[in-house]
Every structure is written in structure tokens, then in C-alpha cells.
Structure 1
């Protein structure tokens, strides 16, 4: 079984995001970048499938600038076998990403595609579903557990009402949630080995996909600063403030 895992380059979740002075976008200068945490969970799951003998090859793919090679090398150090970068310096919307991934899937013919359920920068939660639609594959989203049995993938999904279990035939698209696993740390020997693993670079033109923007970013604003809380002496004062100041009762 070949497993294809998507990896997105995002601002490290420990970093406080800054907005450019002209509010045109987020400031990425001298900012630490990392693998999207949900994508990292997908990589870990694929590596575990390989270690258990259920997967024969793990291929990671990313779309974005040349600097995304850093995140692909990290994924290789975590246990992936080879990497593909679809290099594009233009902003990529979810639909464009899905179309590019569909071409990669057509070339690689994986049995299972593992993706993070969403990226922590845009929080769209769209690409996995779009990719499944474009490729005609079955999909299991928000996976908290994944089991492989021959050509069937059983996915336990986290939904509003609790847990739901679905079964899809391979090839399939599965988007993963936080509770699926806990990603490992890359060891120094594996980091050194990752430098020698193959990393192929393609362009949208190589895949025959024209990038087209359907939306336009008008303005970016930081969230409003939260005001400090206060202490009240007793319940009566609390009720008074809720009624007359906060006006919630």
C-alpha cells in the first residue's frame, strides 16, 4: 500500500502572529515556520502504518514556495520515504491546491491519502473534501482512529454528537483530527538521513494546472485586545455589574 500525505508550511503555533503595517497580510519576515500540526499527525499515522507492515511507501507532498522544502525534510526525518514539492510563489486557494493534488494523485496512484483536517493559518477545512470530489474517491473526515483491513479503511470520526464510524474502499481520502495520535520527534540520525532522501520539485505548469484566484484578500486585522478582568466583593456586586455594565441580564 502506498500512502500519500499532504504537508503544509504554516507559522509555528507557538509564534504570536503579526499583521503588516499596511494590513495587507500577515508578516512572515523572520517568523518561525513549521509543519501544520494536523499534517504532522497525518505523517505520524502514515509512518505507523509503514512500521506495522501495512504500508510499503510513504510519500509526502507540499505546495508552496521553495522554502517549503524545510517542512518536507522534516517529514522525511519523521519517517517518510520521499517527497514532492509543487513549487508556487503565488497564493494558493483550497480549490487550486485540490486540483494540483489531484494531478499528483493521478501520477502517484496512492492507495490512501492522509491529510490534516485543516490548516491552522486559514482554517478552511476544504481541501480534503475537494480532493475526494475531484478524484472520485471515498472520504473519511475528522478521523480519530484509522484501521486498515485489505482494501477497506475504517474511520472513526469525531462529530458534534459524539463518534461515528464509516468504512470506505481504497483508494480513499482521510483527513485526521487531533486525537488520532501524538507525533514523534525527529532524531538526529533520521534528520541526517532525510538530507539524502529524494525530493522532487514540480511546478503547476508541469502538472498542467492553471492557478486562478477566486477570492481577494482585502484587509487583515489583529483581534481586539481583551480588557483586564475585575474582582467583585460579593454576588450582589456581580449581579449589578452583569446587569448594568455588561448588560447580559
Structure 2
């Protein structure tokens, strides 16, 4: 059986937040208060729709937006980790579950030559509308009260797993509070990897009893790579019916 790697994107694969990084493409690199103050808790994607519309109104081209997004840095060690995954697809499946958007993720992964590492991307759909502006839409509807209205990562992960053969082990690598929900559905032989110093690690410190999976904190992709390699080199677990 294969191993599944599940990654968040912002502050995990990339070492920043792609949704706030995009502001750098504006001439003054800032948003007006009318846009800033329109955010409602739990409705970030709706807010980003207004942000991208404002960027388009300032006559910033999609090409300029893409060029700026391609400058966002990867987290240390992530290039090596994703390259390893690309070279070991017979043993490892890899998916991204992110509250960013499809265009940003595609642009960034293609720019660094690592798109082939990722088998599926689950995120908010995005495209260029008839006005030549980036348009972002919510991923799905759900009834989870812990998650933003546009995406419950647990629902995404469970639906994906229901369509796959069983994995020998699942690694979930993330940083944010919205990564707790999917982590809570993993099994005892799976591994949740919160980024050190970020919200998920702090949340897990008080909720470890709510998880079956083992928790291993990380600060670089190199550490995640070492855990993955150790898993692939170990004797497979015996699974009894």
C-alpha cells in the first residue's frame, strides 16, 4: 500500500500567505480601508473576491499578478521534499488541501517546477473573468461549525479517501487552526505534522487526546522528508481484518 502526503499550502509549502502576498502587485502595496474593513470572520474567500476585484480595478494585469505570485518563497526544505515525492510516485501519493485558490497554487508550483509532485489540488476555484480580473469562488458548502463557510478540510479529505484504496500511512502537514479538523479523522498509524510556532501546534498542545494520529512538529521540509523516508524504509504495518 502507498503512503499519502497531505499538505496545506500557505505557511506550509510556501513560507508566506499567498492571499496577502498578492497585495504586493498593487502600486502602493496596500488596500484601502473600505476593502480591508469588509472582512467578516469565517468569510475569507468572499473577502479575497473583493480584493482581487479591487486589484483589477487598479488596472493591474493578470500577468503582473502571476509574476508577483511566482516570487513567493517556498518554505525551507520543501523543494527537496516535493522533488523526492516526484521521484517516488510508485510509493507516495500527494494532495494539497488549501484555502488559497487554484490559480495561485498552480502558478507557484509550476514556477518552481514541482507541479508533478502533486496528484490533486483541493482549493477554492479561480479563473479570469470577462473583465480580465482574477475571480475566486468558494470550494463547497458544508455544515461543520469549526471551519470557514467555504471549506471544511475534513470533508474534503474524507471524500478523497472514500474514493481511494487504503493507504498504509497518511501524513498531514499543516500550520493553521483549519488543519485540526482533517487531522481529527486520521488513524493511529497516521502522522499529523504541525509547523512549529504556528497556530496548529499551539491548538494541538491542548487537544492531543482528541487525535488518534501521532503528532510530530516540524520547522523545515527536510524534517518532513526524513520522517517520510523513515516510513518508506520501515517494515510495513500488518493490518488485520
TM-score bracket, normalised by the shorter chain, equals: 0.3 to 0.5
TM-score (norm 1): 0.41
User: Which structure has the highest helix share of the two?
Assistant: 2
Could you say which structure has the higher strand fraction? 1
The structure having more radius of gyration, on CA atoms, is: 1
